[in-house]
Amino acid sequence: MESESIAAVEIFFFPFVGGGHQIPMVDMARIFAHHGANSTILSTPKHALPFQDLIKRDQSSGLSISIHILNLPENVDIANTDMSASPQTDTSILQESLQSLLLQRRPDCIVHDMFHRWCADTIDSYGVTRIIFSGNACFARCVQENVRLYKPYENVSSDSEPFVVPGLPEKIEFTKSQLPGFFRNQQNGHQRRFPISGKKEFGVVVNSFYELEPAYAEYFRNEMGNKSWLVGPVSLCNNNVQDKFERGKKTSMDEQRILSWLDGQTPNSVLYISFGSIARLTTDQLVEVGYGLEASNVQFIWVVGRVFKSTENDQTNQGSVLPSELEYRIRESGKGLIIHGWAPQLLILDHPAVGGFMTHCGWNSTLEGVSAGVPMITWPISAEQFDNEKLIADVLKTGVKAGSMHWTSWNDNPPPTLGRDKVETVVKRLMGGGEEVAEMRRRARELAEKAKKAIKEGGSSYKDVDALIQELKSMKKVGNPIDTLDHQMVSKELS
């Protein structure tokens, strides 16, 4: 990949403790290791479990990558579920352990998740180059920034009246109901999403590729002033069946059963349905999805994830929430596979039988759908998922909207239920063929080609990874400016 005249750069990756943020950062660490960096993933004993075998395999194939376990006080753990910490989860209990590590090993750079809100000051006090990973696309970041800056929602008279987000390269419309709750409840104030530090981060790494959103990549860099590297789609580093099968978590259904069911279907005939690792639908909504799917008469794989808790303390409300007669009929008809729990998403999306993806528009899933070249049914719920829906359905025109209108927080009351008729209509629209969908499919395939090209040698993301590594190398030669005073102070505090 590159000549090693000076030592390889040492990069720490500090993912957040949740599926949708941890998964892409592990991929990213592997990509940087493939480009010649020494990658270290910082994790906790429990959160490292899902990817430790993968990293061992990488190590035995000669890749310079490792996991560093940050110590936790005895009997303490962050988030009581393994893959589903909410963005509000406080991880500052890891601070001391991170400080000791930075003191011992002085990495050339640390890429940290924006949800570790406390860690900017800690890292800056050691003079370590700090890069943020937000998990969002450039498009979403541009939308969020201009909504915040220009407050276009103040000029509408109701939550359902559309408005245009000013200043963007294209006409992007939202309603107030699709914005995060704090825009509607001004008294709650604007929650800070990014780490606070006296010093600005060195830059931002983005899981996206330039050709997907060129106008927004430029806007993000030039208008918003973000030094950034687009290094994705990072999921494409998983190019063998085992990596895809084990990504994120051990899956709930045998890989062979899924693959042989898919092998028996015709190309582009199967709809894959998943709402990601955190999103919860109510039992009522799941039932409507189930009957809608049945009525649409398409073949499908449906990952029935978590449901809304019935009470605050109810952590166990998972699993068989569908009416047993519906599940029985689906099983008997052979029309669909229902996976309760975790599915090997990349393996499924990449199968030629899969011709559509109903998604909650988490950015990873959205980008994985793009990389697999499948058109989507967009059903956003929370976070920046409505932004991702606009990118897919309005800008790239590779998807149709299910009709979700209400942004809902992790702990809000659930949004209104979309009825089975709506589900049936939108599924038939995407999977039924016709000119509109043929055109979407063509565009989706074209984007998938561009995605694959971006990460190959000479591609835009490939070049961005190399550019960042080169920049860190040149800083290494000059010497990383360390704030010695701060550093000594922290050393004292720790001793």
HSE at residue 363, side-chain half, CA atoms within 13 A, is 25
Contact (CB, 8 A) for 163 and 153: yes
Q: Whose Cβ is closer to ligand UDP: residue 327's or residue 436's? A: 327
What is the SS3 assignment for 350? coil
**C-beta of 365 vs 378, nearer to ligand UDP:** 365
Site for ligand UDP contains 364 (CB under 6 A)? yes
User: Does the footprint of ligand UDP cover residue 337 (CB under 6 A)?
Assistant: no
Task: Yes or no: say if 368 and 340 are a contact pair by the CB < 8 Å rule.
Answer: no
Among 368, 389, 464, 466, binds ligand UDP (CB under 6 A): 368
Q: Compute the least distance from the CB of residue 348 to ligand UDP, in Å.
A: 9
Between CA 376 and CA 372 the distance in angstroms is: 11
In this chain, which of 9, 78, 132, 279 binds ligand UDP, going by CB under 6 A? 279
Structure tokens at 296: 């649409």
Query: Catalytic positions, please?
Result: 21, 113
**Among 7-15, 71-79, 360-368, 404-412, which window interacts with ligand UDP (CB under 6 A)?**
360-368
Q: Write the DSSP symbol of residue 415.
A: P
- By CB under 6 A, residue 459 contacts ligand UDP: no
**CA distance readout (Å), 186 to 94, 108, 182:** 32, 41, 6
CA–centroid distance for 133 within its chain: 11
Residue 143: CB atoms within 10 A of its CB come to 24
When binding is defined by CB under 6 A, the residue of 144, 277, 408, 461 that contacts ligand UDP is 277
With CB atoms as reference, the residue minimizing the distance to ligand UDP is 20
Residues 299-328 that bind ligand UDP (CB under 6 A): 303
Rounded-to-integer distance, Cα 145 and Cα 151, Å: 10
Our CB check for ligand UDP shows the closer of 191 and 266 to be 191
Query: What does the alpha-carbon distance between residue 50 and residue 249 come to, in Å, rounded to a whole number?
Result: 5
**Segment contacting ligand UDP by CB under 6 A, of 97-105, 205-213, 359-367, 436-444:** 359-367
Binding status of residue 343 toward ligand UDP by CB under 6 A: yes
* Interface residue with ligand UDP, options 87, 232, 292, 362 (CB under 6 A): 362
Binding status of residue 243 toward ligand UDP by CB under 6 A = no
With 0-12 CB in 10 A as exposed, 13-18 as middle and 19+ as buried, what is 196? exposed
Looking at the DSSP bridge assignments, the partners of residue 11 are 39, 109
Binding-site string for ligand UDP from residue 3 to residue 22, where x marks contact by CB under 6 A and - marks none:
----------------xx--
What is the contact surface with ligand UDP in residues (CB under 6 A)? 19-20, 23, 247-248, 274, 276-279, 303, 342-343, 345, 362-365, 368
